[in-house]
Structures are given as structure tokens and as C-alpha cells.
Copies of this chain bind each other. A is one copy, B any other.
Amino acid sequence: MTTTPRPSAPPLTERQEARRRRILHTAAQLASRGGFEAVQMREVADTAGVALGTLYRYFPSKVHLLVATMQDQLQLFQEQTRKHPAAGDDPGARVAETLMRTFRGLQREPQLAEAMVRALTFADRSVSAEVDQVSRITGALILDAMGLDHAPSREQLAAVRVIEHTWHSALVTWLSGRASIAQVRIDLETACKLLTIEG
């Protein structure tokens, strides 16, 4: 569940893996400075030391590139969270706390967050596989935080979906300056009530 880099593609050589990393790192760096619009494909290519055509061979569009960056970052958060899981006896509270921690992680680089989330929501069908992967990681994050000792019920899975929707949409409203962090917390906590209530 932790690594699914290229399901059905030939494995990359070491140099290629290094290139891919350089590109992702450059994208994150540029995004951290100026957000979505500061990630310019020519500049990414130059800074990462690859030709523009090569950049497009690795990531077929700017959106693909930034969604891949989001995958990267989310996996880092996931590892962090597994090392230091949220405490508490209420599953809903643990989930809300975990998501708020992730939120604060994103908040530390708001421009990077803006770039990744804009890409994520702007993505069309050609990126749906990659976006789905992000969604899967997010879902895993939530399920981890629930700390179940058995398989989740149908109701729980439905609740997780709504929490995920709330997470994404709240992120968007925060990034566009239409909601405060406090409001995001309230929204997440409200959605998490679905976990502890028998519908």
C-alpha cells in the first residue's frame, strides 16, 4: 500500500530515477516560492537540468507533475503519521486531529499547497489514475487514524468518503481565502461526527 510508483511500466534506471527526483524536487521548490503559476515548465526543465522534451516524457503535463508532487508529499505525511499516530479514545477525534496535522503541514508551505491542490482539482480525466492514487493515500491516512481492529463497515466507509470530500473542499476554500483554519477545523470535526454515530 505504501509504494506504487509505476504499475505496469519498465523499471527506471538509476540515472532516470535521479532525473525524476530532480524534477519533482525542482517543482516543489518553485511551487513553494510562487505557487501554481510559478511552476513554469521551461524553468523546471532548466533548473532540473533536463531538456523540455524530457520533462514532458516523465510528466505529460504540468498537472501531472504537480499531482505527482502531491503524491510525494502525502506519502511523507503518511510516514510521519504512522510514526506518531494521534492519541485519544474517540476515533472521530483521532481522524480530525490527524487531518488537522496534515493541514498544518501543508500550511507550512502554503504556496506549495496551493499549487498541488489547484492541480489536483483542475485535473481532467487524463490524470484520473494519478488523482485516484492521491485519493487512496488520503483514505489510507484516515483509516489508519481510525485505528480499527477489524475491517471497516459499510457505514464507516461511507463516512470516510464524506470526510475525504470535506477535506478536499475545505482545503480549496482555505487556499482561496474563503475560510479560516478555525473554520476548516470545525468542518472536519463536523464531518468526523459521522464516524461515531450509528446511521
Are A177 and B128 closer than 8 Å at their CB atoms? Answer: yes
Residues of B within 8 A of A36 (CB): 124
Q: Closest approach, in angstroms, between the C-beta of A73 and any C-beta of chain B? A: 19
Whether A121 contacts B158 in the complex (CB less than 8 A), given A165-B165, A187-B165, comes out as: no
Interface centre among A122, A169, A187, A194, by most B CB within 10 Å?
A169
Are A170 and B165 closer than 8 Å at their CB atoms? Answer: yes
Copy tally for this chain in the complex stands at 2
Verify if A118 is at the interface (C-beta below 8 Å from B).
yes
Given contacts A118-B122, A161-B187, A193-B199, 7 further A-B contacts (CB under 8 A): A132-B178, A162-B187, A162-B191, A165-B187, A190-B194, A190-B199, A197-B197
Binding site for B on A (CB under 8 A): 36, 114, 118, 121-125, 127-128, 131-132, 135, 158-159, 161-162, 164-166, 168-170, 172-173, 176-178, 186-187, 190-191, 193-194, 197, 199
13 A-B interface contacts by CB (under 8 A)? A114-B124, A118-B124, A121-B172, A132-B178, A158-B187, A161-B187, A162-B162, A162-B187, A165-B168, A165-B169, A165-B187, A193-B194, A193-B197
